[in-house]
């Protein structure tokens, strides 16, 4: 019997990872008469694993909807002439109730599956079918997935029913007398509370039956990185230090993954290091290389594969390739953002690496989004294996910068976005070459914050004594793609009459006192605008944009912020421009109608 269980699990893992959930559907079917009983479906840890993987298989079906809602509603993606009227409605925020994209059912189907699994995992623990560790790890994983799903519902629909118990029929959620809808802000409260209650916030440990390799797919990047969603829900709620603490932990996850500190992976994984971005030339490999390629995986934190041999098929080929349906293209605004950048070399114009790695102009003048196409070629139309990157180091660092900036840690935010942590806190009067700086005693060089703070990130490097901080290779979002630092008008925000004071003992820096800030509120807004603009150029088309713009608009209570930025993807004065400005100037239109 044990052999059958393991073989069955392997079949489910293979089919789920390769995007088929036929076996798991029997477990999670919404029709009670077609479902297996808990006693039949949840006998041991292998059945629990099958349930977990079934959730991920179901989750993968959301890829197309996730990208459409988060990017087409924003300012960086536009429709082509091939798009149908429903996609055009999403693009101009004029959705009608019959638009299939306003239907929240696909998200709730996965949520109801999560609720069923969580319920049965609790029963398994009560009946000692799982150990404490087995239960806590799987419960927390599915709980984090559910948090992610509810955050998406809040972002797009605003008021939604928050249901955490199994129900017999998902259509019952339409009945507001039974399942009242709660406002987004209250939903965030519940997500924060539930997220904090998760008993296991780390990833599956080595040796776990879920932490292995199947059919060449390494499992460790497939599962949600729980601390990223915990950071995100706290960022949305305005819990800056709490969010930063989670982001900090992810940035330093290599402390656990590679404790020997003797390889590139320790210094590069999740840390925006120079080895993965030499002159920016490797930036596009994050998206183009196969699922298991080593260096792109330094950057990718949560990523799921599509396999050409299994369903569901990779939806991105059809969405973006000129060889497919070619429904979407970069907006005029997205292209303009990259072209207007200033390179820090004399050999390139604009944000070349990120522009070329995000879209290309094909024969016939069509602008084709290439981030999702990997190595796909029209000459090999059946080679559609690809990946869906859900979280990577680029967005992690930008979110950390956003939290730090709102908590008055402007220097840290500036360093993360521009040329790295170390330059933001090093001796500003030391003009020696970077290589000679290693000769200094680094013991007291000022760091981003006090040890133990969520903002403490050690980027020191020196040979007296020998020291390589975990983030010593951090180069910043812009420097790794060869862009100049964003210039701050210091006179607006700092007292320029006060000198920088550097205290040294025997040539050892013991303290740096910078020019005092005279306009913290203004500096915070300037830096926040810088972060969100940079997020658009770094993470265009990846599924973050609408949420980023909405979060800032809500934080500032500014309808014009959202309306003007989304409308900017259309020519000023055009019918689409005027339509979006009018629609999004009314806060009631920020969310989709809750219909299914």
CA 323 to CA 561: how far, in whole Å?
37
Output the pLDDT for position 545: 98
CA 342 to CA 330: how far, in whole Å?
20
Whether residue 238 sits in one domain with residue 165: yes
CA 8 to CA 276: how far, in whole Å?
39
Whether residue 128 sits in one domain with residue 204: yes
Token pair 């950390």 in the structure block, residue: 400
Q: Does any domain span residue 455?
A: no
**Nearby residues of 246 by Cβ (< 8 Å), 6 or more positions away:** 227, 228, 230, 231, 234
Beta pairing partners, 462: 467
Output the pLDDT for position 404: 97
Whether residue 329 sits in one domain with residue 219: no
| Cβ-based burial of 119 (10 A; exposed 0-12, middle 13-18, buried ≥19) | middle
The CATH number of whichever domain residue 219 belongs to comes to 1.25.40.390
Whether residue 343 sits in one domain with residue 251: no
CA 258 to CA 248: how far, in whole Å?
16
Output the pLDDT for position 109: 96
CA 249 to CA 252: how far, in whole Å?
5
3-state secondary structure of 76: coil
Output the pLDDT for position 429: 59
Which H or E run includes 535? Answer: helix 520-539
Q: Does any domain span residue 437?
A: no
Output the pLDDT for position 213: 79
Q: Does any domain span residue 484?
A: no
Whether residue 252 sits in one domain with residue 156: yes
Output the pLDDT for position 377: 73
Output the pLDDT for position 313: 86
Question: Which residue in 58, 155, 158 sits closest to 108, CA to CA?
Answer: 58
Whether residue 234 sits in one domain with residue 325: no
Q: Does any domain span residue 579?
A: no
**CA atoms within 13 Å, Cβ hemisphere of 291:** 25
Q: Does any domain span residue 227?
A: yes
Whether residue 132 sits in one domain with residue 248: yes
What total of structural domains would you count in the chain? 2
Output the pLDDT for position 62: 97
Which tokens go with 318? 């059809």
Q: Does any domain span residue 244?
A: yes
Q: Does any domain span residue 498?
A: no
Which of 393, 419, 451 finishes a domain?
393
Torsion angles phi and psi, residue 387, rounded to 5: -150, 155
Domain extent at residue 104:
45-260+298-305
Output the pLDDT for position 261: 87
Maximum distance among all Cα pairs of the chain, rounded to whole angstroms: 80
Whether residue 349 sits in one domain with residue 240: no
CA 258 to CA 264: how far, in whole Å?
10
Alpha helices in 252-392 (DSSP H): 254-257, 264-268, 285-288, 294-299, 315-320, 332-339, 352-358
**Nearby residues of 239 by Cβ (< 8 Å), 6 or more positions away:** 192
Whether residue 200 sits in one domain with residue 113: yes
Q: Does any domain span residue 428?
A: no
> pLDDT tens digits, the chain, 596 residues: what are they?
232 323 333 333 443 443 333 333 332 232 323 334 556 689 999 999 999 999 999 999 999 999 999 999 999 999 999 999 999 999 999 999 999 999 999 999 999 999 999 999 999 999 999 999 999 999 999 999 999 999 999 999 999 999 999 998 898 998 888 899 999 999 999 999 999 999 999 999 989 999 887 777 788 899 999 999 999 999 999 999 999 999 999 999 999 888 888 888 899 899 998 766 655 668 898 998 888 888 788 899 999 999 887 777 899 999 999 999 999 999 999 999 999 998 887 667 899 999 999 999 987 889 999 999 988 777 677 677 899 999 999 999 999 999 999 999 999 999 999 999 988 887 655 544 444 555 555 655 656 778 889 999 998 887 767 788 899 899 999 999 999 999 999 999 999 899 888 777 776 666 777 889 999 999 999 999 999 999 999 999 999 999 999 999 999 999 999 999 999 999 999 999 999 999 999 999 999 999 88
Tell me the angle at which helices 85-92 and 575-584 cross, rounded to the nearest 10 degrees: 60
CA 151 to CA 482: how far, in whole Å?
34
Whether residue 335 sits in one domain with residue 227: no
| Structural contact between residues 141 and 223, judged by C-beta atoms closer than 8 angstroms | yes
Whether residue 252 sits in one domain with residue 183: yes
CA 159 to CA 565: how far, in whole Å?
24
| Structural contact between residues 322 and 314, judged by C-beta atoms closer than 8 angstroms | no
**Nearby residues of 375 by Cβ (< 8 Å), 6 or more positions away:** 288, 289, 290, 383
Which of 305, 337, 366 finishes a domain?
305
Which of 369, 393, 417 finishes a domain?
393
Output the pLDDT for position 434: 47
| Cβ-based burial of 91 (10 A; exposed 0-12, middle 13-18, buried ≥19) | buried
| Structural contact between residues 449 and 409, judged by C-beta atoms closer than 8 angstroms | yes
CA 20 to CA 205: how far, in whole Å?
26
What are the counts of helices (DSSP H) followed by strands (DSSP E) for the chain? 26, 14
Whether residue 159 sits in one domain with residue 64: yes
């Amino acid at each position: 019997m044990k052999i059958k269980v393991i073989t069955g699990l392997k079949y489910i893992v293979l089919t789920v990872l390769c995007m088929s959930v036929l076996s798991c559907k029997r477990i999670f079917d919404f029709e009670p008469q077609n479902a297996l009983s808990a006693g039949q479906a949840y006998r041991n840890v292998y059945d629990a694993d099958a349930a977990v993987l079934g959730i991920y298989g179901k989750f993968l079906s959301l890829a197309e909807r996730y990208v459409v809602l988060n990017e087409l509603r924003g300012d960086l993606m536009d429709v082509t002439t091939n798009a149908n009227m429903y996609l055009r409605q999403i693009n101009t925020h004029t959705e009608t109730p019959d638009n299939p994209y306003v239907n929240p059912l696909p998200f709730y189907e996965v949520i109801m599956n999560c609720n069923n699994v969580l319920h049965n995992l609790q029963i398994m623990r009560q009946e000692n079918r799982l150990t404490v560790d087995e239960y806590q790890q799987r419960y927390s994983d599915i709980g984090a997935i559910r948090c992610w799903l509810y955050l998406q519902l809040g972002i797009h629909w605003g008021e939604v029913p928050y249901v955490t118990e199994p129900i017999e029929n998902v259509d019952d959620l339409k009945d507001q007398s039974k399942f009242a809808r709660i406002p987004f802000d209250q939903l965030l409260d519940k997500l924060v509370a539930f997220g904090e209650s998760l008993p296991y916030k780390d990833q599956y440990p080595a040796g776990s039956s879920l932490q292995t390799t199947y059919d060449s797919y390494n499992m460790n990047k497939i599962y949600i990185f729980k601390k990223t969603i915990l950071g995100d829900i706290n960022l949305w709620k305005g819990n800056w230090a709490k969010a930063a603490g989670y982001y900090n932990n992810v940035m330093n996850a290599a402390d656990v993954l590679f404790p020997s500190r003797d390889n590139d992976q320790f210094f590069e994984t999740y840390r925006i290091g120079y080895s993965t971005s030499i002159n920016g030339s490797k930036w596009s490999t994050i998206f183009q290389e196969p699922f298991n390629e080593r260096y792109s995986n330094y950057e990718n934190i949560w990523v799921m594969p599509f396999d050409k041999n299994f369903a569901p098929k990779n939806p991105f080929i059809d969405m973006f390739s000129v060889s497919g349906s070619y429904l979407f293209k970069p907006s005029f605004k997205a292209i303009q953002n990259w072209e207007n950048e200033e390179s820090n070399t004399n050999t390139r114009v604009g944000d070349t690496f990120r522009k070329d790695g995000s879209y290309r102009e094909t024969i016939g003048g069509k602008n084709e989004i290439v981030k999702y196409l990997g190595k796909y070629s029209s000459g090999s139309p059946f080679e559609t294996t690809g990946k869906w990157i859900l979280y990577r180091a680029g967005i992690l660092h930008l979110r950390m910068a956003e939290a730090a900036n709102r908590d008055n840690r402007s220097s840290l935010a500036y360093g993360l976005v521009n040329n790295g942590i170390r330059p933001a806190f090093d001796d500003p009067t030391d003009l020696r070459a970077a290589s000679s700086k290693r000769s200094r005693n680094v013991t007291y060089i000022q760091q981003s914050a006090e040890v133990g703070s969520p903002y403490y990130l050690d980027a020191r490097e020196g040979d007296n004594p020998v020291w390589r901080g975990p983030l010593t290779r951090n180069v910043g979002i812009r420097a790794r793609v060869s862009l100049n630092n964003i210039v701050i008008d210091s006179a607006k925000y700092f007292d320029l009459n006060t000198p920088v004071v550097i205290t040294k003992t025997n040539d050892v820096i013991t303290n740096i006192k910078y020019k005092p800030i005279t306009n913290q509120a203004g500096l915070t807004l300037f830096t926040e605008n810088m972060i969100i603009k940079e997020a658009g150029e770094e993470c265009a088309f990846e599924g973050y944009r609408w949420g980023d713009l909405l979060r800032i608009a809500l934080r500032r209570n500014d309808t014009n912020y959202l309306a003007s930025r989304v409308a900017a993807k259309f020519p000023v004065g055009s019918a689409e421009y005027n339509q979006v400005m009018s629609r999004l100037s009314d806060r009631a239109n920020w969310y989709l109608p809750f219909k299914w």
